[in-house]
C-alpha cells in the first residue's frame, strides 16, 4: 500500500498501537494538516522535519502520545472550564493535533512569530477546526485561564511555568513535552511547582526518548498522587 492510503493506514495503526480513541474522520484530518504543513514549510520553514513519513511519526503520533494524560487532567476540570493553551505552538504542535483529536475542547495556540500564526490561521480555516483560536502574541500579553497548558519546544521548564503561571486555572496542570528526561530542568524548578508525573512516552515508529512532565502549583489539589 503506497501513497496516502499507506500513510492513512500507518497513522491508524499507530493510533491503535497507542490505544487512543479519536473521532471519526480525525485520521484523515490529521493527514490533511500534515500536507498543509509540508506545503507551507517549503516557504516558511515551520519544521526541520521535511518528509511525509517523518512528520507522521515525529509530529502527529508524537503529539497524540500525550492524549491520555491530557484527558486525565481535563477530567478533573469542570466541563465549562476545560480548555487548553499551547505555548510557542510553531506549526501547531502539539496543540493543533490535539484540537483535531478532541474537537469538543477549546484550544488556543499562541506564538510570537507572525509567519507561524499565519499558517495556523490558514490551517484552522481549511480544516474547519471550530474549537481552535490562534493568537499572535507574547505570553506576557495574554489573559484568561486554562485547565491545561502545553509546550513542546518552547523553553526550559522553569521559564515555561514562570511565564504561564498567571494563565493556569485553579487545579490546572502544565504538560511539557521533552526528549530525554530533563533532570537539570526538573532540579531548577521553583519551589512553588509540584511535579506530579515524569512519564516516559512510547511513540510508534519513533526511536528516541520522549518524556512528558506534568506539574501544577503546590497549593492545588493532588491529582497524580502516588
Q: What is the pLDDT along the chain (226 residues), one digit of tens a residue?
A: 557 788 999 999 999 999 999 999 999 999 999 999 999 988 887 888 778 899 999 999 999 999 999 999 999 887 778 999 999 999 999 999 999 999 999 999 999 999 999 999 999 999 999 999 999 999 999 999 999 999 998 889 999 999 999 999 998 999 999 999 999 999 999 999 999 999 999 999 999 999 999 999 887 544 444 3
Cβ atoms of 217 and 206 within 8 Å: the answer is: no
Would you list the domain boundaries of the chain?
3-217
List, in sequence order, the alpha helices (H) in 127-222: 157-164, 183-187
Cβ atoms of 215 and 195 within 8 Å: the answer is: yes
d(CA 22, CA 206) in angstroms, rounded, equals: 20
φ and ψ of 169, to 5 deg: -70, 160
**Nearest Cα to Cα of residue 203 among 5, 23, 56:** 56
Cβ atoms of 119 and 40 within 8 Å: the answer is: yes
Q: Classify 95 as helix, strand or coil.
A: helix
- How far, CA to CA in Å, does 41 sit from each of 35, 87, 116? 10, 20, 10
CATH fit for domain 3-217, picks 3.30.930.10, 3.40.50.10790, 3.40.30.10, 3.40.50.150: 3.40.50.150
d(CA 33, CA 97) in angstroms, rounded, equals: 8
Residue 142's H or E segment, with its range, is: none
Name the pTM for this structure.
0.93
- How far, CA to CA in Å, does 25 sit from each of 20, 57, 63, 191? 14, 19, 17, 44
Amino acid at each position: 500500500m503506497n501513497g496516502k492510503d499507506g500513510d492513512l493506514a500507518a497513522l491508524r495503526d499507530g493510533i491503535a498501537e497507542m490505544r487512543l480513541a479519536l473521532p471519526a474522520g480525525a485520521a484523515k484530518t490529521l493527514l490533511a494538516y500534515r500536507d498543509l504543513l509540508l506545503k507551507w514549510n517549503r516557504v516558511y520553514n515551520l519544521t526541520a522535519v521535511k518528509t511525509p513519513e517523518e512528520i507522521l511519526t515525529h509530529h502527529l503520533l508524537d503529539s497524540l502520545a500525550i492524549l491520555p494524560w491530557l484527558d486525565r487532567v481535563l477530567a478533573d476540570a469542570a466541563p465549562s472550564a476545560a480548555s487548553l493553551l499551547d505555548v510557542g505552538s510553531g506549526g501547531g504542535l502539539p496543540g493543533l493535533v490535539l484540537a483535531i483529536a478532541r474537537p469538543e475542547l477549546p484550544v488556543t495556540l499562541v506564538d510570537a512569530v507572525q509567519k507561524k500564526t499565519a499558517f495556523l490561521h490558514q490551517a484552522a480555516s481549511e480544516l474547519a477546526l471550530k474549537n481552535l483560536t490562534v493568537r499572535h502574541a507574547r505570553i506576557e500579553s495574554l489573559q484568561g485561564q486554562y485547565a491545561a497548558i502545553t509546550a513542546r519546544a518552547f523553553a526550559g521548564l522553569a521559564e515555561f511555568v514562570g511565564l504561564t503561571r498567571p494563565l493556569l486555572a485553579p487545579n490546572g496542570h502544565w504538560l511539557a513535552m521533552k526528549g530525554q528526561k530533563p533532570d537539570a530542568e526538573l532540579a531548577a524548578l521553583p519551589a512553588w511547582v509540584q511535579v506530579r508525573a515524569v512519564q516516559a512516552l512510547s511513540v510508534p515508529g519513533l526511536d528516541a526518548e520522549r518524556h512528558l512532565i506534568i506539574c501544577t502549583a503546590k497549593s492545588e489539589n493532588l491529582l497524580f498522587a502516588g
